[in-house]
Copies of this chain bind each other. A is one copy, B any other.
Amino acid sequence: MVFCKREQRRDDACPIRRFKKNGRVNVAEREAHLLDIAEQVVEQYGFAGLTMDKIVNRCAYSKGTVYNHFSSKEDLITALCIRAMRTEMGYLNRALAFEGSSRERALAGHFAYQLYARLHPTLFMCVLSAKTPAVVEKTSPARMVQMQQLEQDILSLSTSLMQAAIAAGDLTVPAGVSPQQLMFAHWATAFGTSALLSAEASSNLKELDREQASLFNINLLLDGMGWRPLSGEHDYREVWHRIGQTLFKQELERLNSPQHAQENAR
């Protein structure tokens, strides 16, 4: 209420207009800008304080134009979720570059996922929110399929890691088990772990070593699959650490900097 005077204007409403230049305005670019603003608003006011009016007042466009991009507030949240998943996929792609055994590379994938969840807590919360019925019910069908497509892409990307492991003989799929089944186990573990770590930021996880929880859970899963070398035969904590240092040094520094802690406080 104290900050951001721009909220108050009502009569001095902004006369700036951005009509199509060079024959056509870049729709995707504008949508990205609107999502930037949405993120800022959430950052500042929380999800409960996210309103379309706040977004309209902060951008150079009118309500009608904003609604031209997003059919409803929930549609916008799903759009944020899609942005989150794109970000996630970016990290995931970088993880693929890690050199090592198949299991180490899988670990790199999970490292990427977990890092993204910690680095962009707001975006990750969008993914959680977008799985909520209240949001799903009001999301436009078009965006819904877009999200499912992207999810599918991420799953394929991860599946390729697993296929490589099978080909290399590090992982054996038991008879009667589909690769989908294995993939789903990965997904469920990664999602469950990150979701709970984010959502239960306070409360019931006080005595948990959050830093290691992801690695621990993933290792249990991979051991359960018999993905060699097993965690008893190899020091995966060292690998986990090395993944961070090799692929995500900058991001980890940002995560540990006091500045980032400040950004995410309150």
Contact = CB atoms under 8 A, between A and B. Distances in A.
B47 A134 contact: yes
A32 interface: no
A180 interface: yes
Nearest to A209: B181
Interface residues of A, number: 53
**Main secondary structure on chain A at its contact with chain B?**
helix
Interface string A147-182: 010011001000000000000000000000110110
A14 interface: no
Contacts of A205: 184
Given A47-B137, A138-B48, A188 B196 contact: yes
20 contacts: A46-B134, A47-B133, A47-B134, A125-B133, A128-B128, A151-B203, A181-B208, A184-B217, A188-B189, A188-B193, A188-B196, A188-B217, A189-B192, A189-B221, A190-B192, A191-B195, A192-B195, A195-B195, A219-B224, A223-B224
